[in-house]
Amino acid sequence: MRNISCQGVSFDFSQQFLPFVYIAVFIVGLIANGFGLKSSFHNWKKLGNVNIFVFNLEIADILYLLTLPFLVTYYALGSKWIFGDIFCKITRFCFNLNLYGSIGFLTCISVYRYLSVVHPMRVMERITQTHTVIITIMVWVLVCIQILPDMFFTKRYKNQTGKCYETTSWFYVNDYLTYSLGWTLTGFCIPSLIILGCYGHMIVVLCTKPNIDTVLKQRCLRLLFILIVLLSVCYIPYHVLKNLNLKARILAKERQCQEWFDGVYIAHQISRGLVCLNSAINPLIYLHRNKMLHNHLRRQCFRRVRSSIMREIHTTGH
């Protein structure tokens, strides 16, 4: 089916904007994740089970970063894909694997921290590395199940050099929008609510208990603020504008052209640049703070144990 477009939509914007973003993310992301991997191995025992989630988060980031040179070449050639249909799908698969794998592991880290703060005595010693590895495998499996249907949608015109679609061609765009909405709900909305719920309740607990370390409260508040910024800048705009752009393509396909199509398309391309920043931001946010937060949580847990023992001694006289 031939490419259908509405007059006024600036399709050249992505070719002018995305290559520079991808180059910057590739350089910064590789450096940050390289230091992140080094720090992960160096502090493996200090970080505990949460380090397994951080390590897999870094692997997801690196897999995506390695595809960026091919995308830079693609846009530099005027949106002409020269690497074949299979590698086009692999490239888009790695992007989705990184995006939703990152969200999945950030959710696991958030739940782990929530349990560390709210139920340290009851839960923390019962969570072993075996449990963490099983959860990690489940995250990878669930993410792959979510993004696997995307591989069956057409990504480019066969037997010719053409576009490598982020979503799919015009012919299947109606079905893709339905799939994308469900995917957004399960892959982004529900995990985001879990993340915000965990940190929200954790902040309430830290602020209402007088015996909690003030430094720990401040760092958790900063981390919650950074998470909100990350969701607001990187993830929310991308998912909203992706689905809105798909709707615009459906209307354009039906010859129902609107003035807002051009604005939505450009905003969506900007959101694509912003969402890939998570590959560079993740190691800078979590790895550095994991060590400090883990040490504070461990000290806080020891204080609670000591207080419980002292109260027991005072009560029983033994």
For residue 159, the model assigns a pLDDT of 55
CB 156 within 8 A of CB 85: yes
CB 100 within 8 A of CB 187: yes
Q: Which residues are within 8 A (CB) of 58 and not within 5 positions of it... i.e. 6 or more apart?
A: 33, 36, 37, 40, 282, 283, 287
For residue 11, the model assigns a pLDDT of 64
Helix 13-42 and helix 68-76, axial crossing angle in degrees, nearest 10: 170
Euclidean distance between CA atoms 238 and 270, whole angstroms: 8
For residue 58, the model assigns a pLDDT of 85
Euclidean distance between CA atoms 174 and 1, whole angstroms: 14
Select from 47, 49, 45 the least CA-distant residue to 128.
49
What is the number of residues in the chain?
A: 318
In DSSP terms, 117 is beta-bridged to: none
For residue 238, the model assigns a pLDDT of 95
For residue 292, the model assigns a pLDDT of 46
Q: Which residues are within 8 A (CB) of 226 and not within 5 positions of it... i.e. 6 or more apart?
A: 285
Select from 157, 141, 164, 20 the least CA-distant residue to 91.
164
CB 98 within 8 A of CB 64: yes
For residue 155, the model assigns a pLDDT of 85
Euclidean distance between CA atoms 227 and 32, whole angstroms: 18
For residue 3, the model assigns a pLDDT of 46
Cα angle 218, 223, 227; round to 5 = 150
Low-confidence ranges of the chain (pLDDT < 70): 1-11, 43-48, 121-125, 157-161, 212, 284-318
For residue 41, the model assigns a pLDDT of 73
For residue 140, the model assigns a pLDDT of 95
CA distances from 199 to 116, 132, 205 (A): 12, 20, 10
Please state whether 178 falls in left (phi above 0), alpha (psi between -120 and 50) or beta. Answer: alpha
Structure tokens that stand for 115 in this block: 């349990």
Q: Which residues are within 8 A (CB) of 307 and not within 5 positions of it... i.e. 6 or more apart?
A: 211
For residue 297, the model assigns a pLDDT of 46
Euclidean distance between CA atoms 102 and 218, whole angstroms: 25
Domains in the chain, start-ordered, CATH in brackets? 13-302 (1.20.1070.10)
- Tell me which DSSP letter residue 169 carries: -
Structure tokens that stand for 309 in this block: 């023992």
